[in-house]
Amino acid sequence: MQNLAWALSLIFMAAIAAVFLWVVAGASSASRDADAIARSGRLWRDRLFWIIIAAGVAISFATLWDWPIAGHAAAAPKPDVVIRATAHQFRWAIDRDTVQAGQLVEFELTSADVNHGFAIYKNKHHLVAQTQAMPGYVNKLQVRFTEPGDYEVLCLEYCGVAHHAMRAVIKVRAGS
């Protein structure tokens, strides 16, 4: 097997060398001068540049025509419940932890110290929603919980040695 690999390597190297020599021989016998070749190269480079720009603009308009974040395109609806949460190293201070299923809940998030990620999970593996909690800024996140149950809040931004312990629970109860 090793002899076969060696023989194939030699054949491929010889083929590459032959192609290289053919290109070199053709370049030396070419009748066009270097200025004409350079002009042609610049012309193609300029054409390719404008084609890429046009394609980029077309792709941008095609993919962003329907703006993906509805809250940025229109006024956000009035929430049924507002929950204020402040992130601390290494805990969440949440002013309310129980809501009704079907309610539109708005989380007003900030941080007392460093950046934190605010992520709401259902059944440990299903990410429902997430945003950042940042010092000196209130970030709003609206979520409509459709199913009753306990939703775990975790920090997604590494915030220090006890980051893994930064947890809270939002209890969603059946609507009345």
Give the whole-angstrom CA distance, residue 60 versus residue 3: 53
pLDDT of residue 74: 64
Question: Which helix (H) or strand (E) element contains residue 21?
Answer: helix 2-28
pLDDT by residue (tens digit) across 15-72?
A: 998 888 887 776 655 555 677 777 888 888 899 999 999 999 988 888 776 665 555 5
Does the domain at 76-173 match CATH 2.60.40.420? Answer given as yes
pLDDT of residue 25: 72
130-153 per-residue burial string, b: 16 or more CB within 10 A, e: under 16: ebbbbeeeeeebbbebeeeeebeb
Query: Which residues of the chain form CATH 2.60.40.420?
Result: 76-173
pLDDT of residue 5: 80
Give the whole-angstrom CA distance, residue 107 versus residue 140: 6
Task: With CA atoms as reference, report the closest residue to 83 among 155, 165, 148, 145.
Answer: 145
Amino acid letter at 149? G
